Amino acid sequence: MSEQKDPHKNYGYEVTDARFKPIFIAGLMLFSVVALALVFIYGLFGFFGSMRADKMAPSSPLAMERQLPDGPRLQVDPNLDWQIFNARQDSVLNSAGWVVREAGVVRIPIERAMQIALQRGFPVRPDYDEDEK
CB atoms within 10 A of CB 107: 13
Encode pLDDT of 6-54 as tens digits: 766 777 777 788 899 999 999 999 999 999 999 999 999 998 888 776 6
Name the nearest CA neighbour of 109 among 119, 97, 94, 98. Answer: 94
Mind listing the pLDDT tens digit for each residue in 92-121?
888 999 999 999 999 999 899 999 999 998
Whether this model's pTM surpasses 0.75: no
**Each residue of 62-76: pLDDT tens digit?**
666 777 777 787 888
CA atoms within 13 A on the CB side of 78: 0
Rounded CA separation 17/84 (Å):
78
Using alpha carbons, select from 93, 114, 96, 115 the residue that is nearest to residue 105: 96
What does each C-alpha distance from 88 to 43, 85, 93, 106 come to in angstroms? 63, 5, 9, 17
Higher-pLDDT residue of 4 and 24 is 24
CA angle 19, 23, 26 (to 5 degrees): 150
